[in-house]
Amino acid sequence: MNTSINQDINQNNQQQSLFRSRDPLHLTIGLLFITTILVTIGNLIFAESSAFHVSDYTVSLLGKYLCYALLALAVDLVWGYCGILSLGHGAFFTLGGYAMGMYLMRQIGDRGVYGNPDLPDFMVFLNWTELPWFWAGSNSVIWMVCMVFLGPGLLAFIFGSLAFRSRVSGVYLSIMTQAMTYALMLAFFRNEMGFGGNNGLTDFKEIFGFSLQSPSTKLGLFIATAIALALAYCACHFIVKSKMGRVVTAIRDSESRVRFVGYKPEHYKVWIFVVSAMLAGLAGALYVPQVGIINPGEFSPLNSIEMVIWVAVGGRNSLYGAIIGAIIVSYAKTRFTAIMPEAWLFALGGLFVLVTLLLPKGIAGLLPSIKQKFANTADSVEAKS
């Protein structure tokens, strides 16, 4: 539509001005590093009675938030930098989670309720006598690591190459991704799928030989998540800064112009979509051992929308914004459900409306303007750059 082109241009102007604020790579990584160190010290060194003590519960909770942050990063990469609003990133996240869950399931061995050394409990219950083919190899770490990336990556590749080649874009694409995750949810609910049906995979015992119940494993998982987030952040940062990243950003701003210049936008889109899906898968894989369960409910379209909300609140077009958004919204959710369970939907819903109306650039959009003010008044050196 003609009108939308005009509006697109307006929007692009906004986005470009936003994009000029540089991603504080060192600051973000540094903060992440310091937090991790502090949490580790708090958990290991300070006694339980100390005010500086960080309980195991908090460690797991923080670990979960970091998984969400990683996931938000993945969403931001496609939405903020390529303009693809995916309402189905939950699917990639969950697939990664299932890959990890399958591995963990096999680690239970004969400690399951039916004591079958080869088959997970739910298969014994279904009267299956041998592992289905898609579970083959699931007890090896290498298989698991491959599947964490391959599963979501392959789905993203197939979906992306079909969709982007036929130039499905904008709102249509969003709805398609939503339908995709919805279909997967329905499929995984089925017991015959061989993924544990509605109950999903749970009751994990150990990971890489470490007991999942021990505090040190939890801390280890938290640190691993922090490292993964840091690496992913760097990777995203370099992708965005690379030539490819520039093309991707250009596609977001005007796909047809990029095409006229001679690039093939669909290739770039598929590529960034796949990378993002793999990151989401990684987040899912780290999430599962920390929360202890993966089930088809994670595919629910609502979850995927919530991910988008994180990014919107934090501010798209800035990688650290996604991280901030994921952590703040998740934390708010935890707090709200504890303090006023009956009202949390009001608060959450209100937050979405207000942020989109008043803070289109998200929280990250606030920071530069604050900095600007600060710079103007203090006349600091910052202003020159």
Per-residue binder mask for another protein (CB under 8 A), 213-252, x = binder: x---------------------------------------
Q: Which stretch binds another protein (CB under 8 A): 5-13, 29-37, 135-143, 321-329?
A: 5-13
Please give the angle made by the CA atoms of 348, 67 and 201, to the nearest 5 degrees. 95
Compare residues 187 and 378 and give the one whose CB is closer to another protein.
187
Compare residues 125 and 157 and give the one whose CB is closer to another protein.
125
Please tell me whether residue 111 binds another protein under the rule CB under 8 A. yes
Q: Is 348 exposed, middle or buried (0-12, 13-18, 19+ CB in 10 A)?
A: middle
Q: Which stretch binds another protein (CB under 8 A): 106-114, 147-155, 227-235, 259-267?
A: 106-114
Please tell me whether residue 167 binds another protein under the rule CB under 8 A. yes
How far, in Å, CA of 362 to CA of 366, rounded?
Answer: 7
Whose tokens are 């993002």? That residue is 276
Compare residues 204 and 233 and give the one whose CB is closer to another protein.
204
Q: Which stretch binds another protein (CB under 8 A): 112-120, 138-146, 234-242, 317-325?
A: 112-120
Please tell me whether residue 13 binds another protein under the rule CB under 8 A. no
Compare residues 25 and 293 and give the one whose CB is closer to another protein.
293
Binding to another protein, residues 289-348 (CB under 8 A): 291-293, 295, 297-298, 301-302, 305, 308-309, 312, 337-338, 341-346, 348
Compare residues 111 and 246 and give the one whose CB is closer to another protein.
111
How far, in Å, CA of 275 to CA of 29, rounded?
Answer: 20
CB of 303 to another protein, least distance (A): 9
Compare residues 28 and 178 and give the one whose CB is closer to another protein.
178
Please tell me whether residue 51 binds another protein under the rule CB under 8 A. no
In the set 157, 263, 331, 352, which binds another protein (CB under 8 A)? 352
Per-residue binder mask for another protein (CB under 8 A), 168-197, x = binder: xxxxx-xxx-xxx-xx--xx-xxx-----x
In the set 17, 50, 198, 376, which binds another protein (CB under 8 A)? 198
Compare residues 29 and 332 and give the one whose CB is closer to another protein.
332
How many residues sit in the footprint of another protein (CB under 8 A)?
Answer: 88
Binding to another protein, residues 248-277 (CB under 8 A): none
In the set 25, 203, 250, 375, which binds another protein (CB under 8 A)? 203
Please name which of 307, 300, 66 lies closest in space to residue 178, comparing C-alpha atoms. Answer: 300
Binding to another protein, residues 146-165 (CB under 8 A): 159, 162-163
In the set 33, 46, 52, 114, which binds another protein (CB under 8 A)? 114
Binding to another protein, residues 125-144 (CB under 8 A): 125, 127
Per-residue binder mask for another protein (CB under 8 A), 65-84, x = binder: --------------x-----
Question: Parallel, antiparallel, or unpaired: how do β-strands 293-294 and 210-211 relate?
Answer: unpaired
Compare residues 153 and 284 and give the one whose CB is closer to another protein.
284
Q: Which residues of 186-208 are buried (b: 16+ CB within 10 A; e: fewer)?
A: eebbeeeebbbbeebbbbbebbe
Please tell me whether residue 11 binds another protein under the rule CB under 8 A. yes
